[in-house]
Amino acid sequence: MNSPVVVALDYDDEAAAIALAARLSPNLCRLKVGKALFTRSGPQLVETLQGMGFDVFLDLKFHDIPNTVAGAVRAAADLGVWMVNVHASGGRRMLEAAAGSLAAYSKPPLLIGVTVLTSMSDEDLVEMGYTETAEQRVSRLAGLVADSGLDGVVCSAREAPALRAAHGAGFALVTPGIRLAGDSAGDQRRVVTPADAIAGGADYLVIGRSITGAAEPLLALERIHAELGLTA
């Protein structure tokens, strides 16, 4: 099954992340490794998860000068990850350098641009000096990402319908801030349920606490699949 679910391994240590992965199924999800876990555990953790059969989204949100980001994206590709991301606000030259760095790979990872973090509100953007709403900024950055040759964007599922209409079916929409009905939103501001996200045009759902915080993570994952009408 080509599951849309990506489980966020938001743990502080490798042992906890591997223990959670062992309670899941690579047939039902992919896994996301972020900054804290990767900084502590390094590439060997990614290789361990891959050895367990999981595709890995390396969520490091590269944002630096073009040559540095290009080198980092190549390093991720050499590691064999399924997806890697960069900050769209790094600008066109950085984005094009990142995309160009994958030209020589026969099976490159999906390269995704981060638009506006789902923890941010319109008020946060105003405080940072932006005059756009989150929705307006996401739209503009998504256009830049598409023009620069990347595969898609990270965005809130609330922005997915407009982005799908603007960029078509071939543009991947990766949506964090996904919560099951009744779950706490935590530090996320722009949250959506799995079914609503898919209905709105999302391709991949990044889900953390609704699965990792469950007493039975596999049952929570299966519940999400049932909500989406997916069968193993």
Q: What is the pLDDT of residues 74-114, one digit of tens each?
A: 999 999 999 999 999 999 999 999 999 999 999 999 999 99
- pLDDT tens for 133-174 read 989 999 999 999 999 999 999 998 888 999 999 999 999 999
Residue 95 sits in a domain whose CATH number is: 3.20.20.70
The residues that are catalytic are: 61
pLDDT for the residue numbered 179: 77
**What is the C-alpha radius of gyration for the chain, rounded to an integer number of angstroms?**
17
Number of folded domains that form the chain: 1
Share of the chain above pLDDT 70, in %: 94
- Token digits of residue 193: 């349920």
Query: Tens digits of per-residue pLDDT, 43-68?
Result: 999 999 999 999 999 999 999 999 99
- Cβ pair 38, 65 in contact under 8 A: no
Which has more pLDDT, 25 or 134? 25
pLDDT of 213? 92
What DSSP string describes the chain? ----EEEE---SSHHHHHHHHTTS-TTT-EEEEEHHHHHHH-HHHHHHHHHTT--EEEEEEE-S-HHHHHHHHHHHHHTT-SEEEEEGGG-HHHHHHHHHTTTT-SSPPEEEEE-S-TT--HHHHHHTT--S-HHHHHHHHHHHHHHTT-SEEE--TTTHHHHHHHH-TTSEEEE--B--TT---TT-SS-B-HHHHHHTT-SEEEE-HHHHTSSSHHHHHHHHHHHHT---
Range of the domain at 172: 5-228
Q: What is the pTM of this model?
A: 0.92
Highest mean pLDDT among 82-91, 126-135, 191-200: 82-91
